[in-house]
Structure 1
Amino acid sequence: MSQNLRSMDLNLLPIFDCLMCEQHLSRAAEVLAMSQPAVSNALKRLRLHYNDALFIRSAKGLIPTARAMELHLQIQPALQQLQLTQQSRDFDPKFSHGNISIAMEPTVEYLMAPSWFSCFHQQAPNMRLALYPEHLDNIAERLRRGQLDFAIDYLGFDEQYFQQQRLADEALVVICAKQHHLLKGSISLAQFESLPQVTLVPRPSTSPVNSGFSGSPIEHLIAAQWPNPASFTRNIVLSLSSFVAIPAVIAQSELIAVVPKRLAEQGPWQQQLQCLPLPFAGLKTQLNLIWHNSREQDPMHQWAREQLCLAV
């Protein structure tokens, strides 16, 4: 062991981790059940050890320096592994203060976050649930490092180091305004190709298998089911950042869009929309809950997987 590491109080590392998560001195003190002066003193010692400010004070709290972010990438996975060795195999969610982080498409968040939060809050009131967008950089690497617990994706990860479980089946439909002047209950393939459409802005796929595909997973699925994939084309006139905004746009325009059926049926715009079958082979897919092999035997992770599936 190097002299530098031997001279450091390793109890400072969980405090650093909490400061990075909270980015606020008083909130970190509350989470750690420490006094604010004690956390402030620990930060001074961390700054001295690493010869860096680590955090810059601002009106809203603490802003991590580049050095702090670099350190956290290295320290957080090690801390998580140490925490696993301390966890009892008889995990009790009622007394857990763990964190569960999940990357997902905003539509999934919109439809499922309320039931997930209710479930976690009732059974594990001290646990924290954090939901992140699915277009974070390099989600596979974040799962490997323990920076994310789960990813939820339509396409799945075809890699030996990941596990996945079906979370829910998903059907896709075409939506248009109730009073659309051309569409009444159905849509032809020619109409689907020619009518102006809304879609998502291109983005890298969550899945490492499809990392070269630009677009949403649903775009990928439509292209794969197209009668002649080489001629796949649509009249895209508007690109949005999330499916969640699409029904409102469709309800007030002559545009069409392909969205998850549950979004069209559960949103506030339901009464102003038509849900039409796709004009080619019925397109069904599933949402996959994905995690890294290293978390397979983690009791908290196992409990979270069960709850996420039950609460869908």
Structure 2
Amino acid sequence: MELSMSGYNLVTTNGITQKEQSDVHLRSVDLNLLTVFDAVMQMQNVTRAAQSLGMSQPAVSNAVARLKIMFDDELFFRYGRGIQPTSRARELFGPVRQALQLVHNELPGASFEPKNSDRLFNLSICSPLDIRLTAQIINTVRQAAPYVQLTIKSYLDDNIEHQLRYQETEFVIGYTEFESANFHRLALFNDELVLAVAKDHPRIENSISSEQLFLESHAVVSLDHRGSFSKPYYQSTESIQAIAYESTDMNSVLSVVSQTYFVAIAPRWLVQACNETLNLKPVPLPWENAKRACNLTWHESTDRDKGHQWMKSLLKQFSLSM
């Protein structure tokens, strides 16, 4: 096919621009299939997706077959009693959800009714805040919106910004401060940090100096674990004599500290909660400001989503209860 340039449009010999060809292709696509894709991705099960859409299972299976042709990918494969998305499906999920939500928000009368909604919300609550907040959030949501579903994970990986941007995760509760202006943040409360030590520690009683602190053997939450409250204090390991134990779970750290002469920086509430079950005591840190803000973070693209607004207002309540 012979091509020529006409202004800024690439024109074919039959006089149709590439943009017009793209528009013709888009008009040939059944955009209703995208709602099926979104439901199947959320449910990871064709039967449950059909129920949520008010469709028959064969109709959803047929739609999935058409989606595979549309995107030239298998999209899903069988896994146990459900299905798992391919890497291509995972790439598509965020943009498709965002596009559908944008359209929904602009429809006349678009609203979110918590009492009747069965919407799925995905939250990330970094450890150890998950211990403190998860059950409270689940119970609060259940009381306000009995059919709303929650999926909560406690580990923040390096892909968390992508997950927030494309609503794979809608909120992050943790100590992380995202640098991009596209992420909005609300400080819920401040955690006071202390030094957790065994009650019978031979060198530490009720206080400790900065010099002594960094001479001790430390147990830490993994230094590359995003959202760790202790990360700023361990940015440079040169001042620490030894990191003797490293874990992604704060409970494991405190358990090891209680049975050794290691030390660990931890929230006061967590050390006190472990007093009865573990051989631990909290010791004040030798710094004036030993607090970390717990932040609620979301991406600006969700600000007009009424369901998102409702969940945000619910999560803000925890700034008043801590």
Q: Settle same-fold status: TM greater than 0.5.
A: yes
Query: Which segments of structure 1 move beyond 6 Å, counting only runs of 4 or more?
Result: none
| Residues 1:137 and 1:39: Cα distance change in structure 2 (over 3 Å) | same
2:82 aligned to which of 47, 56, 61: 61
Distance 1:238 1:157, change over 3 A: same
User: Equivalents in 1 of 2:239, 2:158: separation in Å?
Assistant: 28
1:232-271 CA-partner distances (Å, limit 9, x unpaired): 3242100001223222222222211001112212247555
Q: Secondary structure at 1:173's aligned position in 2?
A: strand
Amino acid at match of 2:272: E
1:219 matched to 2:231? yes
Does the Cα contact within 8 Å between 1:80 and 1:146 map onto a contact in 2?
no
Query: Post-superposition shift, 1:94?
Result: 0.8
User: Secondary structure in 2 aligned to 1:152?
Assistant: strand
Partner of 1:185: 206
Post-superposition Cα deviations, 1:70-104, rounded to whole Å, max 9, x if no partner, equal: 33243222122223234846543112232322233
8 A contact 2:223–2:234 mirrored in 1: no
Provide structure 2 residue ranges, at least 5 long, that are not aligned to the other structure.
1-21
- SS of 1:2's equivalent? helix
| Residue correspondence of structure 1 range 122-271 to structure 2 within 5 A | 122-203=143-224, 205=226, 216-220=228-232, 222=233, 232-267=239-274
- Which residue does 1:80 correspond to in 2? 101
The unaligned stretches of length 5 or more in structure 1 are: 207-215
Q: CA 1:87–1:285 in 2, change beyond 3 Å: closer, same or farther?
A: farther
Distance 1:146 1:73, change over 3 A: closer
Residue 141 of structure 1 deviates from its aligned partner by: 3.3
User: Cα gap change, 1:60/1:251 in structure 2, threshold over 3 Å: closer, same or farther?
Assistant: farther
Q: More relative contact order in 1 or in 2 (CA 8 Å, sep 6+)?
A: 1
Tell me: CA distance 1:274–1:169, structure 2 relative to 1, closer, same or farther (3 Å): same
Amino acid at match of 2:309: Q
The separation in 2 between residues aligned to 1:50 and 1:246, in whole angstroms, is 46
Change (3 A) 1:166 1:203: same
**Residue 296 in 1 paired to residue 317 in 2?**
no
Q: How many pairs does the alignment contain? A: 298
Partner-residue secondary structure (3-state), 2:106: helix
Percent of residue pairs identical: 31
Amino acid at match of 1:125: P
Q: What code does the residue aligned with 1:45 have?
A: R
More helix by share: 1
Between the aligned partners of 1:265 and 1:33, the Cα distance in structure 2 is 50
CA distance in 2, matches of 1:87, 1:195: 63
Question: Which deviates more from structure 2 when the two are superposed, residues 145-154 or residues 11-20?
Answer: 145-154
2:68 aligned residue: 47
Distance, in Å, in 2 between the alignment partners of 1:244 and 1:271 is: 10
Query: In 2, are the aligned partners of 1:175 and 1:257 still within 8 Å (CA)?
Result: yes
Q: Assess, with a 3 A threshold, how the Cα gap between structure 1 residues 297 and 60 changes in structure 2: closer, same or farther.
A: same
Superposed displacement of residue 172, structure 1:
0.4
**Other structure's SS at 2:103 match:** helix
How far apart, CA to CA, are the structure 1 residues paired with 2:201 and 2:208?
Answer: 11
Change (3 A) 1:6 1:269: farther
CA distance in 2, matches of 1:63, 1:294: 27
1:127-164 deviation digits (Å, cap 9, x = unpaired)? 22222345323333332333322222324234332321
